[in-house]
Amino acid sequence: MDVVRRNIEALRGTVTIESQEGVGTTLIVRLPLTLAIIEGFLVGVGKETFVLPLDVVIECVELPASERHNGSAQGVINLRGKSLPYLRLSHLFGTPARENSREQIVVVGQNELRAGLVVDALYGENQTVIKPLGKLFQGLHGVSGSTILGNGKVALILDVPAIVREVSSTPEPTVAA
């Protein structure tokens, strides 16, 4: 146990032992949030890069031509016979989309809810170190953290469950065929 304690403390973490007679013993290991690593899926909107936790990504499909460049923030498409509400990340974060880009929908899900997030580019999987948001950005809607990419740029890690709940709770427009 001493070796484990020293290794945790070397990572700026702590180990606490709480014991109650007749009840049991609890070991509490706390590590800094900066050491949390997730499997992420990188997407691009305009010049910005965002990270979606890979465990909520279901699939990626191209946005149907009838829905492209219509300027609406959200809508609904028919995906294999089922309605899929979608939201353009460019509208959610006020980021201008790329001109003449082929928009993609990243289908994400949380429990039974499904929604699409429209992006300009799909960059693929990446192990992502989660950096906590500063106090100034703690209340930022739809964002759970940030990370520093290999090129030195900061990318926001999206709070997909919150975004899916928002998209699923808005009234559905008519479904495009």
Q: Work out the percent of the chain whose per-residue pLDDT is above 70.
A: 89
Q: What is the pTM of this model?
A: 0.73
Boundaries of CATH 2.30.30.40 in the chain? 34-169
Q: Determine the 3-state secondary structure of 42 from DSSP.
A: strand
- Furthest C-alpha separation in the chain: 68
Q: What is the pLDDT of residue 69?
A: 62
Q: What is the pLDDT of residue 177?
A: 45
If you average pLDDT over residues 103-124, what whole number do you get?
Answer: 92
Tokens encoding 71: 């300027």
Q: What is the mean pLDDT of the chain?
A: 85
Provide the CATH topology of domain 34-169. SH3 type barrels. (2.30.30)
If you average pLDDT over residues 75-94, what whole number do you get?
Answer: 91
User: Could you tell me whether strands 48-53 and 143-148 are parallel, antiparallel, or unpaired per DSSP bridges?
Assistant: unpaired
Asked whether residue 171 carries a pLDDT value surpassing 70, the answer given is no
